Amino acid sequence: MQRLGPYELIETLGSGAMGTVWRARHAELGAVRALKVLALRTPSRRERFRRETEHLARIHHPNVVTIHDAGLEATRGWFAMDLIEGRSLREALEAGPLPTQQALEVADGIAAGLEALHAAGVAHRDLKLENWLFDSLDLCENQKFTVRPCCIVDV
C-alpha cells in the first residue's frame, strides 16, 4: 500500500487542477481521513502551502473542513481533513432544484464558511459545486463538519 507521511493511501476520491484527494488511514491511529495531495515544485509554492495549512489548522468553524495534520515531502504537500461521506452540491442539484428554504440555508452556510476562511487570510481558490459537500443527512458539513451547509477548502 502506498504511503504518504503517516497515512496509507486507500483510494482516489477525486482529482483536479490543484491536486488529488485520497481516502487515507493513519497507520498508527487508524483514523480514516480525506488526504489532499498537491504538487509543490517551487520553494514559493511550498512556503505558501506551509503558511496556508498553518492558518487552516486554526480555523474551527462548522462550515469549514477541519485540518487534522499536514506535511511536506520532497515536491509534494498534503493535509488530512475530515472525510465527509455524502454527495456534492452538484450531485444534489442534478436530482432537481433544492426547496427554497434549503437553498437559502446552503447559501448561508457557504457564505459563512468563506467568511471564516477570509477572516483567517485564506482564499479558497477552487469554488465549484463539487467542493461543497453534504453529509448523509443531505445537510452540508464542512469537510468535514456539523449539520449545516459547508465548504471544502482547497489551497
* Boundaries of every domain in the chain: 3-81
pLDDT of residue 133: 81
Q: Catalytic: 138?
A: no
If one compares 98 and 144, the residue with the highest pLDDT of the two is: 98
**Statement: 3-81 belongs to CATH 3.30.200.20:** yes
CA distance 27 to 7: 6
CA distance 155 to 148: 22
Whether the CB-CB separation of 39 and 49 falls below 8 Å is answered with no
102-152: pLDDT as tens digits: 888 888 888 888 898 888 887 777 778 887 887 654 444 443 323 233 444
Q: Which residue is catalytic, options 69, 82, 108, 126?
A: 126
Residue ranges in 23-73 assigned as alpha helix (H):
43-57
